Structure 1
Amino acid sequence: MAKKPSADESIAALYTAAIDPQQWDAALNGIAALADARAANCFVHDAQTGSFLEYRFTGYHSGWADAYASHYHGLDLAREVLMREPSGHMYAMHRYLPDHVVERSEYYQDFYIREGLRYSCGGMVVDGDFRLIMAVHRPVDHEPYDDSTIQSLQRVLDHLPNIFRVRQTAAQAHVRTPMMSAALDALPRAVIVVDDEMRVHYLNAAANTMLERSTEIRVQANRFAAADPHVAPQLKKRIRDVCAACPAVEPLPLYAHDSAGRPALEVHVVPLKPQLSLQFDRQTRPLAMVLPRRRFQDPAQPAGSERPFSLSRAEMAVATGIASGLTPAQCADRAGVRISTVRSQIKSIFAKTGARRIADIVALFGD
């Protein structure tokens, strides 16, 4: 004889079913076993119209649900009890519907008892625009529900709103996954989603293109890594930091260098919101987004050149001054020129190096 599940086991099974719809039958069978019943069901009603939005059931003969939804739910005396009594409680219907009422009821005589059922215990919870109903049903040769069983079922009912919110979130995530992937693929910037062990869960189109052409980063055996031995441990630490329970995000990027020692890639690491993690292989552990970007145009830098990127002496002085912490005004004062001259030199530095902001100059010339 199978072991009777506990209320906690039944609750856990319902949460599992909320994420994986194929587990609903197993979860409802668990509730029926908890109640020593033959059948169990969960309904979702529109709170305004009373119409069925969905129903899940187990333990009935074929055609039962369609017959109930199309006709007999309007005659269901147990449903009337749930609509009349305060919500949020499980009610053993034998305490509200005595035998003489059952004997005169079309619902009981033509439908419920003919199904081989006699004793029901149900509860309803109003959650926003929805009524959530859970019920279990014992056969005609069984005893009515005792207080201990009703208390166990009450614990399950208390979780029902959260279970259906999880179900709704999981369903929305399932629908959004293709949309989200298409949106990320449309981004010109590379996006790589990894976990704290550097396993890759997603690569957008730009990331695949970058990895085909890059020598600075790579994916091997489904694990992400930087080729630079100095950058690799820093990158691994940042990914673990943002995947921690309390994410720690370093605002300054890492720089992966090319074979000539120049900063070729700017790499940011940020946490992926927990509610989005389910969209990547139903992942529940924290994930990180690695955002690599090729920072500069390929420089036409002659080998052995004293001044990189073909900068003039004045431009080189401005670049190194800014990299050392000077403002453009301080660079002008030091060189004895107007601030407008320094601004023109900064524009020339941008054009020659491919930099787009002062921070890029600092990163390029700061060491």
Structure 2
Amino acid sequence: MSGHSVDEAIAALYAAAVAPDQWDKALGALKRLADARAANCFVHDAVTERFIEYRFAGYGANWARDYAGHYHSLDLARRVLLREPAGRMHAMHRYVSESMVQKSEYYQDFYIHEGLRYSCGGTLFDGNQRLILAVHRPVGHRPYEEHTVAELQRVLNHLPNVFRVRELAMLGRGDASMSCAALDALPRAVVIVDETATIRYINRAANTLLDHAEDVFIRSSRLTLPDPHLARQLTQRIKKACQPTPATDPVPLYTVDSNGRPSVEFHIVPLDPALAAGVASAQPMAMILLRRPFQRANWAGAATRPYSLSQAEIGVAASMVEGLTPAEYASRSGVKVSTVRSQIKSIMAKTGTRRMSEIATLFARMDISLFDQTAPDTQRT
């Protein structure tokens, strides 16, 4: 990993949704996250197989023309994305062997000729549209690692919402109420503050998260943290994000609960002026992205859990959202892979899903950590 935060890439994509001139910056953030040379985002009509639009960065001048005109039909990675279940990022070296690369016109005459070698991509459906996200490392680099794929998975999960925000922004260009509606459409908790850390806007997801948080408060129109050291760090990062030349720390801040576990994650990024125009004055603003890291939870009862999943099943579902394989989750949790696979089958039966990618997509839309309770689990898997 390059050390750049996944939240930077996510925030940059949402900024591009409301300000089209920010797409190059968003794809640049995606390249830094993936330690890649090129990145692209396609919108594809799943019925007609027609490209509706594509955004790309890091390629040569004739790349788009040559790809759309001929090479897309020979693209082995594209075939993998169309064949594999939607909702997951795929490192293509796992599907395209070295011998296939040596025999491929696409790789030898186009992709490698462009200076690229390893790709990672994924798709999600939004109605009849197929959304495609991909990043590409250069010749001489290394294939994509599992932890990088997991970070990119988090970005992919946001992609349908990015384009929905764009639709709202296009409908309400110049309308402050519509800009606020775009922020409320974000599944991620967002708090907008000025350089004095005074809150200027809170979206719905943030209100929900703060209602359940025990160590973050709103007092006198400010986020208040009981830990004075952490509060100072938050204030300092907000000031840096509001500078004429903004600075962003890729390492999040965390509050800690009474058991010493991370409870709320804070990532502070500069607020793009295109978003700020709808919620406040022209003064510098920062956007605080909040998230509750998933923790192994104790549940009050099946009625409080989505789809009546057990504690163990919730843990498995959350790991899929993170992009972990069954083997990786089994190793991290200290259980057998066969146990995890049995839990996956149970989740599918309870949710009506048929693939692991469908489980990841389903639970990516909700904040699983909000179901955290303190009473012991009464249901066993």
TM-score normalised per structure 1: 0.48
Q: Which is higher, the Rg of structure 1 or of structure 2?
A: 1
More relative contact order, 1 or 2 (CA 8 Å, 6+ apart): 2
